[in-house]
Structure formats: C-alpha cells, structure tokens
Amino acid sequence: MDPAALRSWVLFEDEQLLVLDKPGWLVVHPSKNGPWSSLAGAVREEFKLDAIRFIYRLDRETSGVIILAKTAAAGSRLQKAMGRRLIGKVYVAILDGHLSQVTVVDRPLGPDPSVNVTVKQRVVDGEGSQVAQTVFTPLTAGGDCTLVGVELLTGRKHQIRAHAEAIGHRVIGDKLYGPDPSLYLEFATQGWTARHAALLALTRQALHCAAIDLRPAGMEHIFRAFWPRELAAFGERRMGLTATAAQTLVDTFVAQKLRG
C-alpha cells in the first residue's frame, strides 16, 4: 500500500478522530503479511498512533466510511454509543435481481454449519442465533440488478449479506454469500480464478458504507463517502445507470435517513 494513497482516503482528522474512506479490497485488522497489508497496520505506521481503536469494522470487501478514535476517552464514548445503537450508519448495495418494494427482514442469524467456512452466517432459530433486522429500500433497477439503500436496525456479523441471501437477492460479487460459498476459500488461497469470473459479476462485493452520523452520540459530525468508482462503473455497464445518477440516488437516500 502506498502511504500517499492512505492519506488520500482521509475524510476527516482532528485530535479525537481519524475518519477514512476504506477501499473495497483492504482488510481492516492486522495481517501476517506486514503492517502495510492492513488498514490497522498502515494507520499505525503512517499516523504514529499509540493505539488503533476502530469504532466498528467493515468486511474486507466492503468500502466506505470507517472511524478510528485517537484517544481512549473518544473510543470509550463512541463504543458505548455503538452499543446503544446511537450511531446512524447508512449502507448502499447492488443486489442480484429486481427488488420491487421496501423489504424489512426480521429474521435471526447464527452460524451456518452446512458449509466449511466458520464465519458464514445464515437465518436460523434456536441456540446461538441473534435477533437481526435489516431494511432494504430499492432506489433503482436496471439490467438484472437493483441499487438499494440499507438500514441496519441491529448489528450482527455479515447481517446485510446474510439477509440479502435469505430473500433471494444476493449482494453482487459476494464470494461467501453468493452462488457458491467455496469461492470464498478458493479466493483466499488462489486469488481470483476463472471460476470466480464465471460465477461472479464483480471482483468485489457491491456493498458500501455511505455515511455515518455521530450527532446522536453527542458529536457534531456526519461523514460521507462517495460511491466508489468500480461500483459506479459496474452500474453503468450492467444497469445503464450513470455514475452521476447513482451518486444522486445515494445522496438522496442518505439525506432522507440522516435528516435533522
């Protein structure tokens, strides 16, 4: 990773916070491949922070706003606010197929024992499951895809992706919740293969954290990340949706959800 690239991802920085627009190819937590192979490692190297305090995590292939607290006090304050669901997060995704109406998914999630991937979740009742609620709002459809705004009413592992799979509208490009979960392990060991190209329409999952609202946590900040270029290019190619039109739809959805 180029230090200049890392600096270009900075959305905001002061004595308490460092806010970044994470690309959709970068793992967040430290990697065995050295400090510049993860966001945590790169931030520690470049910004010389005494501790890395992510307020929440994003999956490796999810792009968008991510926040680090520079001080223990700010970290504790925001972590408590996250636990109380006071911090508003708005996601945008491209789903497979046409989702015709606002869809509220209120279905518990737990580990999926049917596949050889321990992190995979699925809709399941009983021991080990957790209440999970997601709202998918279609913004526009084109080709065989739908651009949707997403609200998380709970915060579970892989919640958006697992709920999208459960309603039959998987996140485009998802290697774990897509057409074959073994693509996930195959990618980890071999990288992008011909089988990935045949089964997946995009090299990364089309999921983006578009905005974070810290005002309910007592900080006068809303942070936004632009719709990524690779997702905009996919929208133009596959959906006939220009980058400008997609950004306008994203901005409008964010404004509706974070008004006030």
DSSP string, 56-82: S---TT-EEEEEEESSHHHHHHHHHHH
Closest CA to 28 of 64, 59, 67, 72: 59
Look up residue 14 and give its amino acid: D
Q: Which of 14, 21, 59, 251 is catalytic?
A: 59
Decide: 90 and 67 in contact? Cβ < 8 Å.
Answer: no
Residue 59 is a catalytic residue: yes
Q: Is 56 exposed, middle or buried (0-12, 13-18, 19+ CB in 10 A)?
A: middle
Helix (H/G/I), strand (E/B), else coil: 48:
coil
Residues labelled catalytic: 59
